[in-house]
A = this chain, B = another copy of it.
Amino acid sequence: MGGRRTENTGDLVDRARRGEHRAVARLISLVEGASPQLREVAAALAPYTGRAQVVGITGSPGVGKSTTTSALVGVLRAEGRRVGVLAVDPSSPFSGGALLGDRVRMGEHATDEGVFIRSMATRGHLGGLAWSTPQALRVLDAAGCDVVLIETVGVGQSEVDVVALADTTIVLLAPGMGDGVQAAKAGILEVADILVVNKADRDGAAQTVRDLTYMLSLGDRSGRSERPAGADPAAAVGLWVPPVVKTVAARLEGVDGLVSAIEAHRDWLDRSGERGARRRRRAEAEIEAIGMEQVRSRFSHVRGSAALPALATRVVDGELDPYRAADELLATLAAAPSVIPDPARPTRR
């Protein structure tokens, strides 16, 4: 039981797809840690990905993101759905910190076989969250999660990159923490597919909802994508106007309404063809992040390359100009191992 078994990638993927928690956790560790098996794992996962609905949950600190996430997990589990949680917010209770004093605690989900929780606290690995989060997402997707919730703090470029991964983005607000005008200024109306006014039992909640609804009515929105109006498949099924949902997540009030809104958005994504567009953008961002990391990794080898002294001698002797020398240097680096394992490099069997 406690012993370390030989890791066969195909076996790990099979076990993860059957819902074995340890296999899922191990695969995420392999992909986020850039292990030598990374490419093998990625190739083995590829045929099983693209099924989960990815829901991003963002908002300022204190609006109730973790409580809302936990409440959503509860409702989705009651419907029998397999749920993954990626907590990118380092202050999230899912990120290993102390649980908050909320009535709804993740503790109740921790022993649930149908819930997979993973903290993606910023670890400074490789390209950071923009690199590691989509990798972890692919594992949860292949492991058969129907929904993956990505919880982020809505500040900073890393979080924007993570929001870009989502099929559906939920932006949380709380009365008194910033009204609709502030939300508009912060640009969150642009990224929100669903707006949630949490802590809706507080003073000013109704006004915040009115402000948001009014501001949404002003915009000529068509979801987050920028497309010409002409041959737009979304036009036939209508544009998506973000609903404004009131919740008191700590008392589970309004959470069913939020789940209904998520389902409505999922249906709209399918009918409009927007799901495919978002997935392609997500894949582009992921490929870019990997490619940039590989380039950056090789770049770090330019200084101190072992091939350099011999090339320098040939330049000094006038045999070679420095441009051709640089070409030869880069050719040797292209063959050198990258931080991200190279395809040619053998991995453990």
Which residues does A use to contact B, with CB under 8 Å? 38-39, 42-43, 45-50, 134, 138, 276, 279-281, 283-284, 286-288, 290-292, 294-296, 298-299, 302-303, 308-309, 311-313, 315-327, 329-330, 333-334, 340, 343
Q: Is the CB of A295 within 8 A of B340?
A: no
Q: Is the CB of A42 within 8 A of B321?
A: yes
Q: Is the CB of A316 within 8 A of B38?
A: no
Report whether over half of chain A's contact residues are helix, strand or loop; otherwise say mixed: helix
Give 11 A-B pairs besides A39-B324, A50-B316, A295-B330 with Cβ atoms closer than 8 angstroms: A46-B318, A46-B320, A49-B318, A283-B311, A290-B326, A291-B329, A291-B330, A292-B303, A294-B330, A323-B340, A324-B343
Q: Is the CB of A292 within 8 A of B287?
A: no
Q: How far is the CA of A169 from the CA of B317 in the complex (A)?
A: 23
- Some 17 contacts from A to B, beta carbons below 8 A apart, are A39-B321, A39-B324, A42-B321, A42-B322, A46-B315, A48-B318, A134-B322, A138-B322, A280-B312, A287-B311, A287-B315, A287-B326, A291-B333, A294-B326, A295-B298, A299-B299, A327-B343
Q: Is the CB of A283 within 8 A of B315?
A: yes
Q: Is the CB of A315 within 8 A of B286?
A: yes
- Chain B CB within 10 A, most for which of A39, A291, A330: A291
Q: How far is the CA of A71 from the CA of B78 in the complex (A)?
A: 88
Q: How far is the CA of A308 from the CA of B290 in the complex (A)?
A: 12
A313 neighbours in B (Cβ, 8 Å)? 280, 283
A286 neighbours in B (Cβ, 8 Å)? 315, 322
A315 neighbours in B (Cβ, 8 Å)? 46, 283, 286-287
Which 7 residue pairs across A and B have the least CB separation, nearest first?
Answer: A283-B312, A290-B326, A42-B321, A283-B315, A291-B326, A46-B321, A284-B312
A323 neighbours in B (Cβ, 8 Å)? 38-39, 42-43, 290, 340, 343
Q: Is the CB of B316 within 8 A of A288?
A: no
A326 neighbours in B (Cβ, 8 Å)? 287, 290-291, 294
- Chain B CB within 10 A, most for which of A45, A296, A321, A327: A321
Q: How far is the CA of A38 from the CA of B323 in the complex (A)?
A: 9
Q: How far is the CA of A343 from the CA of B43 in the complex (A)?
A: 35
Q: Which residue in chain B gives the minimum CB-CB distance to A298?
A: B295
A322 neighbours in B (Cβ, 8 Å)? 42, 134, 138, 283, 286-287, 290
Q: Is the CB of A308 within 8 A of B330?
A: no
A340 neighbours in B (Cβ, 8 Å)? 323
Give, as a whole number of angstroms, the nearest-CB distance from A308 to chain B.
5
Given contacts A42-B323, A46-B318, A323-B340, contact A302 B288 (CB under 8 A): yes
